[in-house]
Structure 1
Amino acid sequence: MTRGFEIAAIEPQVYRVPIAVPVVTSFGTMRDRPALFVRVVGCDGAEGWGEVWCNFPAVGAEHRARLIGSVLAPLLLGRRFEAPQAAFAFLTAQTEVLAIQSGEPGPLAQATAGIDLGIWDMLARRAGEPLHRFLGGGERRSVPAYASGLNADAPERLAEAKHAEGYRRFKVKVGFGRDRDVGNLRTLRAAFGAATPIMVDANQAWGFDEALSMAEAFAQCAPEWLEEPMRADVAVAEWRRFAEAAPVAVANGENLRGEAAFAAMAEGGGIGFLQPDIGKWGGLSGGMAVARHAASRGVTLCPHWLGGGIGLVASLHYLAAAGGAGVLEVDANPNPLRDEFVSSFPAVADGEMTIPSGAGLGVAPDLGRLAPYRIAL
């Protein structure tokens, strides 16, 4: 089966939906929910959808959409590639100097990743296969999922609501002061018992010493992992030193870029959980290589995602194709761009999210319902 293709059109589409309760992290606040969906159309008429990570800064979605329209799409249109990985490598190579010159390696990598996701979906739809099977995965009906992004204000209330929806694992934001952080973890543990996996996410809030002190304080509540306790760009040797000293397992990866960075973290960082975000770097072309390397080192792959429904379902297929014991991150906060305005969005039951059985992603944006929220570029 050939995977060759030629692209006729790449269309970035920005959407924003107001929210009643802001999503708060240790480094910033989201006052609406953005999404940047990418429609990719082949010269043979095949179509696919991708999504670009664009939560921060507040103008991130519009900026990355313009990068796609003005820089990346013109590089690909009308050019033939024999596999998605070839297009990903070409875009990456063609924009390396621009990334340095502009100081924007992150936005360019994110925009490239979203296009890559769209290409993979397009090819899987053309082949008539679910995306995880097209990626080489086996038969699988669901993957474990957890409710993420519990804010620091009474996180047990949102956790209880998500438990009623079928979730059995939870992750709470920390980095808001020792007493508040530890108190929230204790409250969640008391509400759900010792057997429920509960994770904590610091979003790079601390330096080494404070992170270690907080890890020791959290240990009494036995969290599944402590995520990004330090800045993601801390040297790999420091991550290993922290992981060896901390009394809880450590997770990292959503803010890494490049196959070499992921390999170094999996080999020498001492972490137990690697969290690539396929909308921030790599798409599926880079993401599958990261997954294979993590598996070879005994590191559990747990894809990061905080965005709309297209990227989430792509992450679902990614985890299913990778196999292993990883769990899928599903943002617990309200976001119509994730589930309400994406057709055939998968259900969660008893802690598992169903894998769509249709070709490609098995879902697509509901463009009619989304129309009121589209931002003109």
Structure 2
Amino acid sequence: MTDSFSIRSIEAFCYRYPLATPVVTSFGKMPNRPAVFIRVVDEDGVEGWGETWSNFPAPGAEHRARLVNEVLAPGLVGRKLESPAQAFQTLTSGTEVLALQCGEPGPFAQAISGIDLALWDLFARRRRLPLWRLLGGQSSRIKVYASGINPGGAAQTAEAVLKRGHVALKLKIGFGAETDLVNLAALRAIVGAGMLAADANQGWSVDQALTMLPRLAEFDLRWLEEPIRVDRPRDEWRRLRESAKMPIAAGENISSVAGFREVLAEEVLGVVQPDIAKWGGLSACAELACDILKSGKTFCPHYLGGGIGLLGSAHLLAGIGGDGWLEVDANDNPLRDLFCGAVADVTDGTIILGEEPGLGFTPDLSGIADYRSL
């Protein structure tokens, strides 16, 4: 096959899995788990799969699926492409004014990111290479950590994920000092000397964060994630860095090249966490991940969604390398577990990707037909 290819079809499929126990953050709850999976097929019948971030707001998944099917797909179907990056640029530049007009740069970026991941999967399959090798990877083994640990039942969740092969944990905090500190103490005892991180989900003011920092120091946190709002002035972030005994992490809510360049040029963040399904896809985030490592910071891809995007994030981490961890949500979600391929098999805190082309996994959506919402 030649490197150039034409797109025959692009289709987004939207699903919702109801939860018995909502996923809780400092800013709200998720009563169900959405997923928007995207299939791209080329002129030769080769297909690729991607996923679009769609967690918020509650009805956002169906909206993003319609953006893919009704707005973005017509711009690529029938077009001959040389690379996924070409399609990414075509879609991004071609919808900039429309995104501004409707005030929705985020949903457009997320929908484009999902298409981009599907095109990279397709591109790697055409090359007959696993995606992690196409991205330049030397080893298919990567470290993972269990995230999304809610304040309620945190210890029980932690014990359960350790039984599933995890040795590193991240707790959601921002629910009051008493709750946060009790849960952190319990998780530190459970994980022993293993990796423990905490995520405040932008839940504090700078003064609240400064008050909490000394109390968090005793838990030997690998990082403290998004202690304040991402859009707060940089001097507030610098004040936190000066007082923190642990690295500060952020990145999932940075959505521009300029935004990432700013944080890479300063010493505030020690851990940088772009989300390939939320902004940039692989076309932007693969280069960005290299820049993160060159800046001396730790690259840890953010992810909280279905299995295809999680698997793509694993391939990115393996492809770029470094000493970072892949985020694996600990909460119940068959839309993740049935479609994440090798990521489902965690042993001693690591997973190993295979040598199959592309993502190494072709989803069979028939098993989740009952959850389809669009």
Give TM class, smaller chain.
Answer: over 0.9
Partner residue of 1:359?
357
Distance (Å, rounded) in 2 between the aligned partners of 1:256 and 1:2: 36
Find the counterpart in structure 1 of residue 7 from structure 2: 7
**C-alpha distance after superposition, 1:313-354 (max 9, x if no partner):** 000000001100010000000110011355666410000012
Residue by residue over 1:289-331, the C-alpha shift from the partner in whole angstroms, topping out at 9 and shown as x without a partner, is: 1111111100110000000110000000000011000100000
8 Å contact from structure 1 (residues 159, 170) kept in 2: yes
1:190 Cα shift? 2.0
Matched to 1:81, the amino acid is: L
1:316-327 superposed matches below 5 A = 316-327=314-325
One-letter amino acid matched to 2:140? R
Q: Quick one: which amino acid aligns to residue 143 of structure 2?
A: P
Give, in angstroms, the shift of residue 126 of structure 1. 1.4
Q: What TM-score, normalized to structure 2?
A: 0.97
Deviations 1:236-279 (A, max 9, x none): 34323321222221000001112221121122251110000000
Pair 1:275 & 2:239 matched = no
Question: In the alignment, does 2:64 pair up with 1:64?
Answer: yes
In the TM superposition, 1:169-248 aligns within 5 A as 169-193=168-192, 195-248=193-246
User: 2:198, 2:225 within 8 Å by CA — same for their partners in 1?
Assistant: yes
Task: Show the counterpart of 1:38.
Answer: 38
Q: Cα distance, 1:374 vs. partner?
A: 1.4
Residue 121 of structure 1 aligns to a residue in which SS? helix
Structure 1 gap ranges (5+): none
- Could you tell me which residue of structure 1 aligns to residue 251 of structure 2? 253
Residue 216 of structure 1: CA displacement? 1.7
Q: Residue 25 in 1 paired to residue 13 in 2?
A: no
1:92 aligned to 2:87? Answer: no
Task: Give the Å deviation of 1:366.
Answer: 2.0
Q: Deviations over 1:62-94 (max 9, x none)?
A: 000111112111111112222111111111111
Task: Look up the SS of the partner of 2:145 in the other structure.
Answer: strand
Q: Residues of 2 paired with 1:258 and 1:364: CA distance?
A: 31
| Distance in 2 between residues matched to 1:290 and 1:241, nearest whole Å | 26
The corresponding residue for 2:105 is 105
2:305 to 293, 304, 307: 307
> Runs ≥4 in structure 1, deviation > 6 angstroms?
none
Which residue of the partner structure matches residue 148 of structure 1? 147
Residues 113-122 or 74-83, more deviating? 74-83
Helix, strand or coil for the counterpart of 2:34? strand
Could you tell me whether the CA contact under 8 Å between 2:158 and 2:190 is conserved in 1?
A: no
The answer for the alignment partner of 1:115 in structure 2 is 115
Match of 2:81 in 1: 81
**Which deviations, in whole Å up to 9, do the C-alpha atoms of 1:31-66 show, x marking residues without a partner?**
111100000111221100000010111111100011
| Cα distance in 2 for residues equivalent to 1:2 and 1:264 | 38
Contact 2:132 2:140 in 1 (8 A): no
* TM superposition shift of 1:98: 1.3
Return the alpha-carbon distance in structure 2 between the equivalents of residues 270 and 180 of structure 1.
27
* Equivalent-residue separation in structure 1 for 2:307 and 2:112 (angstroms): 18
- 5+ residue gaps, structure 2, are none
Equivalent pairs counted in the alignment come to 374
Partner amino acid, structure 1, of 2:110: Q
367-376 or 231-240, larger mean C-alpha shift: 231-240
**3-state SS of the aligned residue for 1:334?**
coil
The one-letter amino acid paired with 2:372 is R
C-alpha separation in 2, matches of 1:43 and 1:311: 24
Partners in 1 of 2:63 and 2:267 — Cα distance? 33
Q: Using the alignment, how far apart are the partners of 2:338 and 2:196 within structure 1?
A: 26
Correspondence for 2:49? 49
Matched, 1:368 2:366: yes
Q: SS where residue 232 of structure 2 aligns? A: coil
Whichever residue aligns with residue 197 of structure 2, its letter is M
Q: Distance in 1 between matches of 2:178 and 2:343?
A: 38
Report the Cα distance in structure 1 between the residues aligned to 2:341 and 2:207, rounded to whole angstroms. Answer: 46
User: What code does the residue aligned with 2:224 have?
Assistant: L
Q: Which of 324, 335, 338 matches 2:336?
A: 338
Q: 1:207 to 1:345 in 2, by over 3 A?
A: closer
Q: In structure 1, what is the Cα distance between the partners aligned to 2:340 and 2:166?
A: 20
1:2 deviates by 5.0
What one-letter code is carried by the residue in structure 2 that aligns with 1:89? Q
Which residue of 1 is the match for residue 156 of structure 2? Answer: 157
Q: Secondary structure at the match of 2:68?
A: helix
1:373 Cα offset (Å):
1.4
State the alpha-carbon separation in 1 of the partners of residues 338 and 74 from structure 2: 32
Matches of 1:358 and 1:244 in 2, distance apart?
46
Contact 2:130/2:360 (8 A) holds in 1: yes
> Identity, % of aligned pairs?
52
